[in-house]
Chain A
Amino acid sequence: MPRIIGVDIPNDKPVWVSLGYLYGVGRPLALAICKKGGIDPNVKAGQLTEDQLSKVTGIIEADYVVEGQLRRQVQQNISRLKEIGCYRGLRHRRGLPCRGQRTKTNARTRKGPRKTVAGKKSVKEMR
């Protein structure tokens, strides 16, 4: 199993798919990387030569922000919003959606699993 940028070990999938296992690399970017490195995207990742691997690693390291660095960057952006006390920062603090979505219903991705309140009308009706 090849290793690219530290810990990531994509397997016996086509290169353009297995590159997507890196945080910050999706399929479009994976294809772009293949094109840049002159690698056939449909070759299985396990069949890449050492040369090609180092080429891919080089391209990613030079041009893109991925993995830990990208995670840190995202986190920094969020903490900046929190610090300046703007609306989006407040929403982040509360774990609610920041982009004006409705929260009367849905928004479960941000709010997490439902917390049912006993005695609420909808609960009574369900009985």
Chain B
Amino acid sequence: MSRSLKKGPYVVERLFGRVQKQKQNGSRDPLKTWARSCTVVPEFVGHTFMVHNGKTFHRVFVTEDMVGHKLGEFSPTRIFRGHTMVKKEEA
């Protein structure tokens, strides 16, 4: 079920504040964050985030298309490197 419109998008206030601060300073340094559940709002466009995936920080540059998604969607938490080869059975 989608989120109630009454509440508006879920935005982590602290992160939003940090973005606003950056806007004032004019700096575009990547913001390290653990807030994967934070919705990308239009104010984030053009900023870079380092989104934690449980192990490392994944660099995410926010473009206009990303608005409405969550930050965590851009930082995959699982790595699949393919299945291991099974040794050939001897006859």
Interface residues of A (CB under 8 A from B): 80, 83-88, 90, 117-120, 124
Q: Among the listed A85, A87, A120, which residue makes an inter-chain contact with B86, where contact means beta carbons less than 8 Å apart?
A: A120
* Chain B contact residues: helix, strand, loop or mixed: loop
> Which of A86, A118, A124 makes the CB contact (< 8 A) with B73?
A86
Query: B83 is contacted by which of A84, A87, A117, A118 (Cβ under 8 Å)?
Result: A117
- For B, the interface residue count at a CB cutoff of 8 angstroms equals 13
Q: Which chain B residues border A87 with CB–CB below 8 Å?
A: 72-74, 76
Which chain A residue has the least Cβ–Cβ distance from B83? A117
B74 pairs with A84, CB closer than 8 A: yes
Q: Does B32 contact A (CB under 8 A)?
A: no
Q: Write the residues of chain B forming the contact surface with A, with a CB cutoff of 8 angstroms.
A: 63, 65-66, 69, 72-74, 76, 83, 86-89
A residues less than 8 Å from B65 (CB atoms): 80, 83-84
Closest to A121 in B: B86
- What is the CB-to-nearest-CB distance from B30 to chain A, in angstroms, rounded to a whole number? 16
> Assuming A83-B65, A84-B63, A84-B66, is B74 touching A119 (CB within 8 A)?
no
* Residue contact A117 to B74, C-beta cutoff 8 Å: no
Within the assembled complex, what's the spacing in Å between the Cα atoms of A117 and B87?
A: 11
Cβ-closest 8 pairs across A and B = A119-B86, A86-B73, A87-B73, A84-B65, A84-B66, A86-B69, A119-B89, A86-B74
Residues of B within 8 A of A86 (CB): 66, 69, 73-74
